[in-house]
Amino acid sequence: MVERRPLLSVFTHLGLVIGIVIIAFPLYVTFVASTLTLEQVLTVPMQMVPGDNFWNNYAQVLTGGSTRGSTAPVAPMLFNSLVMALIIAFGKIAISIVSAFAIVYFRFPMRNFFFWMIFVTLMLPVEVRIIPTYKVVADLGMLDSYAGLTLPLIASATATFLFRQFFMTVPDELVEAARMDGAGPMRFFFDVLLPLSATSIAALFVIQFIYGWNQYLWPLLITNDESMYTTVIGIKRMIVGGDALTEWHLVMATAILAMVPPALVVILMQKWFVKGLVDTEK
Amino acid sequence: MEKRVVFRSKWLPYMLVAPQLLITIVFFFWPAGQALFYSFQSQDPFGMNVTFAGLDNFRYLFNDSAYLASFKVTAVFSMLVAAGGISIALVLALMADRVVKGALAYRTLLIWPYAVSAAVAGVLWGFLFAPSIGIITFVLKQFNIDWNWVLQGDQAMLLVVIASIWKQISYNFLFFLAGLQSIPRSLIEAASIDGAGPVRRFWTIVFPLLSPVTFFLLVVNIVYAFFDTFGVIDATTSGGPAGSTQILVYKVFVDGVKSADLGGSSAQSAVLMVIVIALTVVQFRFVERKVNY
């Protein structure tokens, strides 16, 4: 701020508060709806203060699911989402940090060709090649499995890129020192490079965890077995069409459950989240 | 840029790139190749009869009024999402950049929608706007506005645009905030000593210096609207009513999965690939070359 303008400051705060309230409004309504009975939700207009069915609704969805549409309990879905998000986050980090290491720290035939092969995957989101990818996964017999859920999404170049950028900034003297001390490439990787990459790894983890947790189209296609549903798919399957038929109080409770873990990751790891977001796009 | 000092090994680098290459080939090149291959073929829904169709799928596609309509829908949708998301986020970022007290709290309260899945965002907004029980529908009714996105195409479009913008605001906001914070204070101070007020300073200094960020966000938001909004649309309108929210990605899904038209859907995938590659090239060429003058 370069000058004092008290009136403008008041408006600024007011504007921010209004913005936050509007952005949080859907979340608040969802939470309120998740604490009501179905009759209360269907009353027009719906009440705007939380009811007292919080425990009932959440216990019901976690252990029993809804009674219309999909009847699968949500607790295993949360577990599936967690497994999927973690495999994707760690898998991506693991395979791309070693391939970036190879590309930056070695000279070998076909190096540039490999680099471009990986680079091209940046361009095509899963959504575009969805049907052939589905066929491949089906041919490999990986439908309704964690491998099928995660492996196709691990194939992406963003993380390799990020690590490549970072390795380029690591001083060459470190490699020279390590070689002088007789350390081989893997020793250098584990003892020097990996510790130096800690913040990049944390930043990438936040972004990829959210990416994995929120996947929609892919799990929708390849999970037919209710026990393999992720939480986001579970919500969609609970909505049976028609405002009055859907058990909105249970759908909303599930929606809250689906939002809380990634939101916590973003808020608690905010520093790395912001870094990850800015870095992955460079 | 290359490293001066490297390690030497005949086999180790291949071992290190192998996992990523394997996954890339199996789940990326193989399916993408098949998509291209199918796009030149015609197949009946049971896969019994496959014939080489040449460019017939594409010719058919560009004569298909539903496909052309989907193009138009996508263009309108992505423009609205990009323009709306960018301008709202810019206003919020300008305000957040001004405040000194509570800046972190404001930021925290503005970034969480990034963590919400597109499909969940669709469910949330679909519920608020639900034709018979929605809160906002109820309020609109008090103003004699007949709201029913299940039947009215324009309203369905508005709904998916709002939900998509809502989810993307935090992303745009963070990039604008970072951009604003990297503008040298001395420029702003000099302008204010010369008597320029906040509005004048914004248009003559801040906005031009933000143009690389704005342009970058424009491309990112268009890509987002093209692909990542699939969940929003599937969870609310499912492309309806009468195709009025059926964006290209959604049509690939509907034709390929629901109608089992492999050739047509693959041809659409191929067209989308060309669009993404074009967008990526644009992004790389122009973002590198800073846009401010």
d(CA B46, CA B261): 10
Cβ-defined contact of A118 to B269 (cutoff 8 Å):
no
Please tell me which residue of chain A has the smallest CA distance to B148: A243
B230 pLDDT more than 60: yes
The length of chain B in residues reads 293
How many CB atoms lie under 10 A from the CB of residue B186?
Answer: 9
B266: nearest Cα among B4, B27, B13, B41: B41
A277: nearest Cα among B56, B73, B179, B274: B179
Residue linked to tokens 């944390």? A202
Closest CA–CA distance from residue B206 to any residue of chain A (Å): 13
- Average pLDDT for residues B183-202, to the nearest whole number? 88
Residue A110 resides in a domain:
yes
Interval B92-113: pLDDT, tens: 999 998 887 888 888 888 889 9
List, in order, residues 6 or more apart from A44 with CB less than 8 Å away: B132, B133, B138
pTM recorded for the entire structure:
0.88
* CB-based contact, A121 to chain B, within 8 Å: yes
Among A116, A128, A208, the strongest candidate for a mutation testing the B interface, having the largest count of B CBs within 10 A, is A128
Nearest to B108 among A104, A123, A267 (CB): A267
A222: nearest Cα among A155, A156, A135: A135
Percentage, residues of chain B above pLDDT 90: 23
Contact criterion met (CB below 8 Å) for B154 and B244 = yes
Residue A64 resides in a domain:
no
d(CA B141, CA B132): 10
Contact criterion met (CB below 8 Å) for A204 and A276 = yes
Residue A93 resides in a domain:
yes
* CB-based contact, A205 to chain B, within 8 Å: no
* CB-based contact, A278 to chain B, within 8 Å: yes
B125 pLDDT more than 90: yes
- Answer with the residue of higher pLDDT: B47 or A47: A47
Residue B51 resides in a domain:
no
Residue A195 CA, chain-centre distance (Å), reads 24
Which pLDDT belongs to residue A212?
A: 92
Which pLDDT belongs to residue B7?
A: 84
Mean pLDDT of chain A, nearest integer: 86
Which pLDDT belongs to residue A84?
A: 94
In this structure, of A221-230, B168-177, B252-261, the range with the lowest mean pLDDT score is B252-261
Neighboring chain B residues of A270 at a CB cutoff of 8 Å: 107-108, 111
Contact criterion met (CB below 8 Å) for B212 and B292 = yes
Phi then psi for A224, rounded to 5 degrees?
Answer: -105, -25
Residue B219 resides in a domain:
yes
Which pLDDT belongs to residue A61?
A: 84
pLDDT band at A19 (very low <50, low <70, confident <90, very high): very high
d(CA B46, CA B57): 18
Which pLDDT belongs to residue A194?
A: 92
Please tell me which residue of chain A has the smallest CA distance to B102: A13
Residue A51 resides in a domain:
no
Find the CATH number of the domain harbouring B269.
Answer: 1.10.3720.10
Could you tell me the residue range of the domain that residue B198 belongs to? Answer: 65-288
Cis peptide before A45 (omega within 30 of 0): yes
Containing B50, the helix (H) or strand (E) segment is strand B50-52
Interval B134-160: pLDDT, tens: 888 888 888 888 888 878 888 899 999
List, in order, residues 6 or more apart from B168 with CB less than 8 Å away: B81, B85, B221, B224
Which pLDDT belongs to residue B77?
A: 94
d(CA A185, CA B33): 36
Neighboring chain A residues of B29 at a CB cutoff of 8 Å: 117
Residue B38 resides in a domain:
no
Which pLDDT belongs to residue A86?
A: 95
Which pLDDT belongs to residue A94?
A: 93
pLDDT band at B45 (very low <50, low <70, confident <90, very high): low
Closest CA–CA distance from residue B146 to any residue of chain A (Å): 15
List, in order, residues 6 or more apart from A2 with CB less than 8 Å away: B185, B188, B189, B192
d(CA A28, CA B135): 12
Among A11, A14, A21, A23, the strongest candidate for a mutation testing the B interface, having the largest count of B CBs within 10 A, is A23
Which pLDDT belongs to residue B293?
A: 39
- Average pLDDT for residues B184-201, to the nearest whole number? 88
Six token digits for residue A136: 């491949």
In this structure, of A135-139, B75-79, B112-116, B270-274, the range with the lowest mean pLDDT score is B270-274
Residue B168 resides in a domain:
yes
Residue B69 CA, chain-centre distance (Å), reads 19
Residue linked to tokens 């324009």? B154
d(CA B136, CA B130): 8
Nearest to A259 among B30, B120, B178 (CB): B120
A225 pLDDT more than 90: no
Q: What is the DSSP letter of B51?
A: E
Residue A73 resides in a domain:
no
What total of structural domains would you count in chain A? 1
Residue A169 resides in a domain:
yes
B123 pLDDT more than 50: yes
B176 pLDDT more than 80: yes
Closest CA–CA distance from residue B250 to any residue of chain A (Å): 9
- Average pLDDT for residues B250-254, to the nearest whole number? 86
Find the CATH number of the domain harbouring A139.
Answer: 1.10.3720.10
Which pLDDT belongs to residue B291?
A: 45
Task: State the number of CA atoms in the 13 A half-sphere of A116 facing the CB.
Answer: 4
In this structure, of A24-38, A59-73, A75-89, B230-244, the range with the lowest mean pLDDT score is A59-73
Six token digits for residue A20: 């936050």
A21 pLDDT more than 90: yes
Residue A244 resides in a domain:
no
d(CA B44, CA A214): 34
Interval A182-215: pLDDT, tens: 888 899 999 999 999 998 899 889 989 999 999 8
* CB-based contact, B29 to chain A, within 8 Å: yes
Could you tell me the residue range of the domain that residue A182 belongs to? Answer: 78-236
pLDDT band at A23 (very low <50, low <70, confident <90, very high): very high
Percentage, residues of chain A above pLDDT 70: 95
Neighboring chain B residues of A99 at a CB cutoff of 8 Å: 16-17, 19-21
A243 pLDDT more than 70: no
Interval A115-141: pLDDT, tens: 888 877 766 677 777 778 888 888 888
Which pLDDT belongs to residue B46?
A: 59
Torsion angle (degrees, nearest 10) of CA A261, A267, A269, A271: 160
* CB-based contact, A216 to chain B, within 8 Å: yes
d(CA A100, CA A159): 9
Query: Using CB atoms within 10 A of its CB, is residue A27 exposed (0-12), middle (13-18) or buried (19+)?
Result: middle
Query: Using CB atoms within 10 A of its CB, is residue A262 exposed (0-12), middle (13-18) or buried (19+)?
Result: buried
Contact criterion met (CB below 8 Å) for A91 and A201 = no
Plot region of A69 (φ>0 → left; ψ -120 to 50 → alpha; else → beta): left
What total of structural domains would you count in chain B? 1
Closest CA–CA distance from residue B49 to any residue of chain A (Å): 18
Residue A193 resides in a domain:
yes
- Average pLDDT for residues A93-115, to the nearest whole number? 90
Question: Tell me, what's the ipTM?
Answer: 0.87
- Output the CA torsion sign for B91, B97, B100, B106: positive
A87 pLDDT more than 90: yes
Neighboring chain A residues of B257 at a CB cutoff of 8 Å: 130-131, 221
**What is the b/e burial string over B43-78, where b = at least 16 CB atoms within 10 angstroms of the residue's CB?**
beeeeeeeeebeebbbeebeeeeebeebeebbeebb
Closest CA–CA distance from residue B264 to any residue of chain A (Å): 12
